[in-house]
Chain A
Amino acid sequence: MTGGADDTPIAELLRSWREPVLGRWIELVGETVHGRLSEAEVRSELTELYGLVERALEGDTAAGDELRAALAEISRGRARHGFSPTETAVGVFALKQSLYEQIRMTRDQRAYSELIDFSSYVDELGLATFETYAAAREQVIADQADQLLELSTPVVRLWDRVLGVPLVGTLDSARAQIAMETLLQALVTTGARYAVIDITGVPAVDTEVAQHLMKTVMAARLMGTHCVVSGIRPQIAQTIVALGIEFGDIVTKATLADALAYVLERSGLRVVGEPEG
């Protein structure tokens, strides 16, 4: 695609109309960013893209690769800034509109014949942002999910046949489910008689979390393990009461230390300080 009569006229057009077409493109995109990006950021991004599009259309394959990389980078940034994938792609499609407007104004005959090819070329670029955007979003979500799962539910041995399950972070359905399964599995392998589920690190207990907790306690009970829920901070206690959640006969304690003391006492154990001397 290089040299002589095969030169893509559209590349020439883009070059000669750089000022109005790029300017209008920046304007169109600027209208949609609603303050999430500055005008200067939009200008510098689109100026770079425009230059790369010109070169790629002239057959510069290195520029083509660079263009895709730049688009990928931009869509990752958009994903992080909270733009929707459609907004991101539409930002690229706006280049077509800008060019159409210019062609309509100048009635340049050469341009019309190029439009279809150019249009599908821009569509392809726009769709490429879609893919990167989706991949970036999925990555963000996967990272979050991994964080949650990694954080979730270490089951620790607090005492002989007493397990502790410290729950930290947001307890969504998936995590609560995993917490329950991990605990029940640990009960099987350790034959624990008591389990302390500590929710000190859970920022909010809503009805779904409460329901999961209750189900876990019931299931453990069926397996012969007595559960205590600890770490109920004052703001959580007030919220639970206002929600109208009743924990029934489930034993709850303010702190993990209280729960451990309770469990030890029920096991007939007493912690005795060594006499000084």
Chain B
Amino acid sequence: MTTPSGEEMPIASSDDVVRVRQVVRAAAAAAGLSLVDQTKLVTAASELARNTYAHGGGGAMRVERATGEDGRKGVRLVFTDEGPGIADVDRALSEGWSSGTGLGLGLPGARQLCDEFGLRSEAGGGTTVTVAKWTR
């Protein structure tokens, strides 16, 4: 259940990560999320966008206004890339695990910060992460 007015933007540079935050902030405010929830969604988006850029070799984000199962309104974000994918999803989702020099808190943190979280990835097959946050 989403509006067709979704917007897709590329994530190909660290400037794009900054733009993602701005776009998500605007969408979250427009959807009526509280300041705390806006900040949570923006922070999750920042993590996921940076993963798309840094681990996935670049990709894109879709932002859409959405309605949850219980009828609450909100925002859904879909991050996709065609990068190397994640071989061990459970490990990637555990707190503190990083294949690089990060804190390893981005994926588990984004899950914690959002109301809906989905991760689809395959080694060699790219990664798609979907998150959503609903108004209270």
Q: Which chain A residues have a beta carbon within 8 Å of chain B's beta carbons? A: 141, 144-145, 170, 172-174, 203-208, 210-211, 234-236, 238-239, 242-245
Contacts and interface: CB of A to CB of B under 8 A. Distances in A.
B18 A207 contact: no
Given A170-B21, A172-B14, A172-B17, A207 B109 contact: yes
B55 to A, nearest CB: 13
A206 B40 contact: no
B36 A244 contact: no
Contacts, number: 72
B39 A204 contact: yes
A234 B25 contact: no
B45 to A, nearest CB: 9
A245 B21 CA distance: 19
Report which residue of A141, A172, A236, A243 has the largest number of chain B beta carbons within 10 angstroms of its beta carbon: A243
A207 B106 contact: yes
A244 B112 contact: yes
Contacts of A145: 15
Contact of A203 (B15, B17, B39, B108): B39
Contacts of A235: 35-36, 38-40
Nearest to A170: B18
B25 to A, nearest CB: 7
A217 to B, nearest CB: 15
Given A208-B50, A208-B102, A244-B112, A203 B40 contact: no
Interface string B20-62: 0100010000000001101110110011001000000000000
Interface of B: 14-15, 17-18, 21, 25, 35-36, 38-40, 42-43, 46-47, 50, 95-96, 102-103, 105-106, 108-109, 112-113
A59 to B, nearest CB: 42
B63 to A, nearest CB: 14
Contacts of B50: 206, 208
Report which residue of A144, A206, A210, A238 has the largest number of chain B beta carbons within 10 angstroms of its beta carbon: A206
A242 B109 contact: yes
Contacts of A203: 21, 25, 39, 42
A245 B109 CA distance: 9
Contact of B102 (A204, A211, A242, A243): A211
Contacts of A243: 43, 47, 105, 109, 112-113
Contacts of B17: 172
A271 B47 CA distance: 42
